A and B are shown apart, each in its own frame.
Chain A
Amino acid sequence: MMSLTTIRPSSRARALATGIALVGVVATAQPTALALLVAACIGILIVQGKISFYIRFLFRLWLPLAAGLFLVWGLIVRGSPQAGYGSGIAHGLEFAGMVALRLAALAALFQAAVLSLEGLRLAAFLRELGLSPNATATLVSVFNLWPEFARRTDQVVAARCARGLMTDRRLWTRVRQFPWALRTLFVGSLGSSLDRAHRWEAERLPQRLAETVKNQGDSKTAFWAGIVWCFVAAVWTVISLWPK
């Protein structure tokens, strides 16, 4: 029996389903619909093995943002745009809760749709959406270079220490490093980027990438999985927008 992790919707269906659900997320006024979507996306992320990414997002970004919203709408403005400003703490908290839930749903939706696209699968996805080999290569390289960029950043900051240019870790000492670290990072990365682009042209690597992913195309399973995703997304969107 095929495992859940191997059933993936086709690229176009994935994009379409996400687009349909996005309409619902942005326009709905029903918190239960949003909560249902979040739960479904969490399920997808667990199956994909990407749930830790979403959890990190919740704790590092979403929680502080949500706390700020509750503080501002609940305690400072004490109202909501619909009920009127100053209409009461309860309205403010309800509105803040809705915005926070909507943000959590947006993140869950995007991550469930895209995070499982790694490596050649991402390239295949972009090619199927109609991007040219060069455009595909350009976008794909962002994801592959991200860890390298982070490593290079780390290296540059380490180099400031290694040369004795940052001899303590006080705030002002760290602030002073920023422009020089940024410049070295930029110039070094610019050189590598230009060399890489020349090499891509000379060795036709974007075209090779397009060739390599051509046969990673969608199977019948992916087609039907896509149909199911689109159907479920459409049903959810209709329900979420149904007047109470």
Chain B
Amino acid sequence: MIAETPSTKTSIEAISGNGVSRLTWVTGNNFSGRSAILKKACEHYSNQPAAGIIIPPEIYSALSALVPTVAEELLLHLGGNPDDVSAFQRLAEKWGLAALAERDPYSLSGGEQALLVILCKLALAPTLLAIDGALEQLDPSNLSQVLSAITTDRSLSRPPRFLLTHNGAIVQNGGNAIRQVPATDFSDIERPDKPPPLDINGFEPPRCKEPATIFLKDISFRYPRGKTVFSGLNLKLEPGRIYRLAGANGSGKSTLARILTGILPLSGGEIQVNGKLFNSYVRPGTLARLHFQSPDSQLFEDTVRAELGSLPSKISENAARFAGLGGFLNEHPFDLPFVLRKRLALTLILHTAAPWLIFDEPTLGQDEQTRIVLSSAFQSLAKCGYGIIIVSHNENFADHVASETIHLDKDIK
């Protein structure tokens, strides 16, 4: 990869016009202006339809909602670009989308939606395609495939230039160089004010009142009129430990998280907590609480203050300080950018009082600084007797913080 020297000043013109490299990675921490750079670069082409396209971190909002299947979504986007049909069909096969052809695009996982949206927006033959954080939803092998296609595939008749932002490592095997440009090098954009970072010194969880040892005995789950997600699962989860749930899409990671939280009822088997039978469905949120991948469904109030007010009062002050949201207490949660909404949603679960806390993709959209603090927070909670479960594609983060990995697609007895 070619890194720009810090002294090089770069303009939006230079990377969105006839830049040197086909793919430019705009690097930097949260609030360094990366998203603004991508947006402004796309605005450069706003006088031509679909010439500058941006894919946001909330992938589902980039789906068209005009067709019911994956195949038709691609067909819709290809409509004006018949020359590349075979090239796109080949890419769709390679990225595993052909197997999902009859599926509803909204029913796909985050990673699958990311692949579909990238392919569809490529099919519009833009001059510039900006991918703002969407690549974080891809697992490492898909990420590598996409980058390889972006940088080396010559079968597309009019390949665009690419700009991307990505929190995490990009490892590319061979192929053309990815040009890295720090966001701080850009002088001609309006930067947002940077809020305070997460403050681990503000994180003081109380000791867990009732640490809970969970024993899942021969549990099974099947959706009504649907497939069996898992059966005969036996697992012991001990408090004070951090577990990582791993497995392919459809192996039951989210399902297990929802069963423990009480969102879904068991189809078979039983849950024992400290040796006693426990029905999580009848008492949701008492054994475990869950942070969803997307924060938007988890925020219910009209101010950040009211949202944090759902926590006990002393804890809510600490939570505001920890999250760096002290300056946003009167803001509507949905007026915050995605990164801060995610922080708020994470903070609400980190400071809640259930014996087990489950986090689905906690590092999505978060920079390295934030990940370090999250890692410390999880470890503090574990030391206080809470049990932590993480579901994450970010193997570096998950392997670093988790003491044990549970593979759900292997038979656990």
Contacts and interface: CB of A to CB of B under 8 A. Distances in A.
A–B in direct contact per CB < 8 Å: yes
Interface of A: 118-120, 123, 137, 140-141, 143-145, 147-148, 151-152, 155-156, 158-169, 180-181, 183-184, 187-188, 191-192, 195-196, 199-200, 202-206, 208-209, 211-212
21 contacts: A120-B67, A123-B66, A141-B65, A144-B65, A144-B67, A145-B65, A147-B107, A151-B107, A158-B258, A159-B298, A159-B300, A160-B300, A162-B291, A163-B285, A164-B289, A164-B352, A191-B296, A191-B334, A208-B79, A209-B64, A212-B79
Interface string B57-69: 0101110111111
Interface residues of B, number: 53
Given A183-B300, A192-B61, A158 B263 contact: yes
Interface of B: 46, 49-50, 53, 56, 58, 60-62, 64-69, 72, 75-77, 79-80, 104, 106-107, 124, 258, 261-263, 281-286, 289-292, 296-302, 310, 334, 348-349, 352-354
Given A162-B261, A164-B354, A155 B297 contact: yes
A141 B66 contact: yes
Nearest to A161: B284
B68 A161 contact: no
Given A155-B292, A168-B283, A203 B66 contact: no
A159 B286 CA distance: 13
Contacts of B64: 196, 199-200, 205, 209
B292 A159 contact: yes
Given A148-B106, A151-B107, A163 B352 contact: yes
A15 to B, nearest CB: 21
Contacts, number: 145
Contacts of B77: 208
A160 B286 CA distance: 12
B62 A208 contact: no
Nearest to A151: B106
Contacts of A144: 65-68, 104, 106
A164 B62 contact: no
Given A164-B354, A166-B284, A195 B56 contact: yes
Nearest to A209: B66
A168 to B, nearest CB: 6
Contact of B65 (A120, A148, A187, A208): A148
A212 B53 contact: no
A4 B301 CA distance: 54
Contacts of B263: 158, 161-162
A192 B297 contact: no
Nearest to A179: B300
A196 B79 CA distance: 19
A162 B66 contact: no
| Majority secondary structure of chain A interface residues (helix, strand, loop or mixed) | helix
| Majority secondary structure of chain B interface residues (helix, strand, loop or mixed) | loop
B284 A167 contact: yes
A155 to B, nearest CB: 4
Given A164-B354, A211-B79, A184 B299 contact: yes
Nearest to B291: A162
A161 B66 contact: no
B297 A119 contact: no
Which one of B50, B68, B354 has the highest number of Cβ atoms from chain A below 10 Å of its Cβ?
A: B68
Contacts of A140: 66-67
Contacts of A158: 258, 263, 297
A123 B64 CA distance: 14
Contacts of B352: 163-164
A205 B354 contact: no
Nearest to B53: A203
A154 to B, nearest CB: 9
Contact of A164 (B106, B286, B300): B286
A144 B352 CA distance: 37
A203 B124 contact: yes
Nearest to A122: B68
A188 B66 CA distance: 19
Which one of B75, B79, B286 has the highest number of Cβ atoms from chain A below 10 Å of its Cβ?
A: B79
A110 B403 CA distance: 58
Contact of B49 (A123, A160, A204, A209): A204
Contact of B282 (A164, A165, A169): A169
Contact of A167 (B285, B290, B291): B285
B49 A162 contact: no
B298 A162 contact: yes
Contacts of B58: 192, 195
Nearest to A118: B68
Contacts of B124: 203
A202 B62 CA distance: 12
Contacts of A143: 68
Nearest to A155: B297
A180 B56 CA distance: 27
